[in-house]
Amino acid sequence: MKDENCIFCKIGAHEIPTKKVYEDDMCIAFDDMEPLMPVHVLIIPKDHYTGLDDDVPEEVLGHCLKVTKKIAEIKGLTNGWRTLINTGHDASQSVRHFHVHVLGGGLMPRPNDQDWGRFATNADKIYDKDGNKICG
C-alpha cells in the first residue's frame, strides 16, 4: 500500500533522505524540514493513507500515537509536547499522507477561538455560542 507519487511514501522507503529520529516496522519519524518549534518531528506510517479521512487501521493510529512518547523521550521533552494531525483542505494539510506532528521544546499557547477563526475565509460568518460575531 504505497503511492509512488507520495513524498512521505518515499521517505518511508528510504528513497528520500531525512533526519531520522525513530523507526520500526510500521512507522518512521523524522525532523520536520520547516520546524515550528525547537522540536518538530513527524511520525508517518510506512503504508499510504491520505489522512484521518482515509481508512487508517486502528492499529496504525494507536501505534503512531504511542510513538509520540518515544519521540518525546528521544528529544528530551520532559515538560510535555503537542501532537497535531491536520486532515484535508480546511486544516491546510499539505502532504496527503497521514502523519502526526510532535511539537515541543518551549511553551505553546493554547489556541483560542478568535485566533483560529481569524484564518478562516468565512471569518465574518463565525459566531460564538451566544450568537456574537467572533471575527471580521
The residue within the footprint of ligand AMP, chosen from 15, 25, 34, 55 (CB under 6 A), is: 34
Regarding 132 and contact with ligand AMP (CB under 6 A), the answer is no
* Phi-psi region at 49: left, alpha or beta (left = phi > 0; alpha = psi -120 to 50): beta
65 binds ligand AMP (CB under 6 A): no
Q: HSE (CB half, 13 Å, CA atoms) of 80? A: 5
- Contact by Cβ (8 Å): 45, 1: no
Of 34 and 130, the one with the shorter C-beta distance to ligand AMP is 34
Q: Is 120 in the site for ligand AMP (CB under 6 A)?
A: no
Q: How far is the CB of 97 from ligand AMP (least distance, A)?
A: 8
Instruction: Please state the separation of Cα 61 from the chain's center in Å.
Output: 12
DSSP per-residue codes, 49-110: --STTS---HHHHHHHHHHHHHHHHHHT-TT--EEE---SGGGT--S-S--EEEEESS--PP
94 lies in the site for ligand AMP, by CB under 6 A: yes
99 is catalytic: yes
Least Å distance, CB 119 to ligand AMP, is: 13
| Contact status: 95 vs ligand AMP (CB under 6 A) | yes
Catalytic residues: 99
Residues forming the site for ligand AMP (CB under 6 A): 7, 18, 30, 32-34, 42, 86, 92-95
